[in-house]
Amino acid sequence: MASEITYAEVKFKNASPDAVVNAPPETKKHEHHPQKYPPWLPWLISVLLLLVCIALVITLLVVPCSQSSDQPPALQQKSTEWSCVSSVPQGREKGWTCCPKGWKLFQESCYYLSADMMPKVESEQNCTGMGSHLVVINSRAEQEFLSKELQQSSNGENYYIGLRAEAVGQWHWVDQTPFNETAAFWRIGEPSNKSDQPCAVIHVKSNILGNWNDAKCEEHHRICEAAAVTV
C-alpha cells in the first residue's frame, strides 16, 4: 500500500512574507590607467633646460665682464678730435694715450689752458661741460709741468686751479682730495687768508715752485683737468 505524503503549510511568526535577502552591493573596482604625455614633451623640456643653462652662462660670464669695463669717460663723450701718443702702460700691450685736440698731456692726465677769462663759478661749469674739472695738483712734477707750460704758451697772468677756501684758511680741492699744506706751492706771503679772497690761482710770472695766490673770485683764466684716454 502506498504511503500518503501530507503537505502542511508552516508560517513563522513576525516573518515578512516577501522577505528579500539584500546582498551587499558589489564594490566597483577603480581601474588605474597610466597618464599619457605627448611624445614631444621630453624634447621640449630638454630644449628649455638647455636655454636656461645658456642664460646662466651669459649671466655669469658676459654680464660681469661688461660691468667691469669702464664706461667711456665724460671727456671721451664730449670730444671728437684727438691727439694721441704711443704708450706702453704697465701690464698692457702697446697702445695710445690720447687727449682732445688742443689739450696738454702729462702722465695720465689731460690739461686745458684757457685763452678766455671767466669768474670762478663759470670756470667750474665750463670745465664740467667738457667732461673735466678745475685742475687738482697732487705732485711737484705736475706743478712744474703746468708752470712751465703756462710760462711758454700763456698770455694770461692768473689761472684758476681747483682749490677753494670754504672758510678763512680752510682750503679744499674740488674733487675732495685732502689738502696737504706741506705739498702746496704758495708764493711767499701767500695765502693772505682774507675773507674776500677764497679762490686760488697760479700766478704765471712767479717762481715755478711757488706761484699760488689766493684771490677774489673774479674773471681769470682756468686750467681744466681730466683723465687721459688709453686705446
CA angle, 94 then 97 then 102, to 5°: 155
* pLDDT tens digits, 146-197: 999 999 987 889 999 999 999 999 999 999 999 998 889 999 999 999 999 9
Q: What superfamily in CATH does domain 112-223 come from?
A: Mannose-Binding Protein A, subunit A (3.10.100.10)
Whole-number CA gyration radius for the chain: 46
Nearest to 104 by CA among 47, 63, 142, 159: 142
Split at pLDDT 50, 70, 90, the class of 52 is confident
Nearest partner of 221 among 109, 120, 152, 145, judged by Cα: 120
CB 62 within 8 A of CB 48: no
Q: What span, in angstroms and rounded, lies between the C-alpha atoms of 89 and 49?
A: 44
pLDDT for position 150: 95
Q: What is the pLDDT of residue 31?
A: 54
Question: How is the chain split among helix, strand and coil, in percent rounded to 5?
Answer: 25, 25, 45
Domain boundaries, the chain: 112-223
Please tell me the pTM assigned to this model. 0.66
Q: What is the pLDDT of residue 20?
A: 46
Q: Is 75 helix (H, G, I), strand (E, B) or coil?
A: helix
Q: Which helix (H) or strand (E) holds 57?
A: helix 41-57
Confidence of residue 42 (pLDDT cuts 50, 70, 90): confident
Mean of the per-residue pLDDT values of the chain: 81
Any idea what the Cα angle at residue 171 is, between residues 198 and 205, rounded to 5°? 65
C-alpha cell at 49: 633646460
Instruction: Mark 41-77 as b/e (b = at least 16 C-beta within 10 Å).
Output: eeeeeeeeeeeeeeeeeeeeeeeeeeeeeeeebbbbe
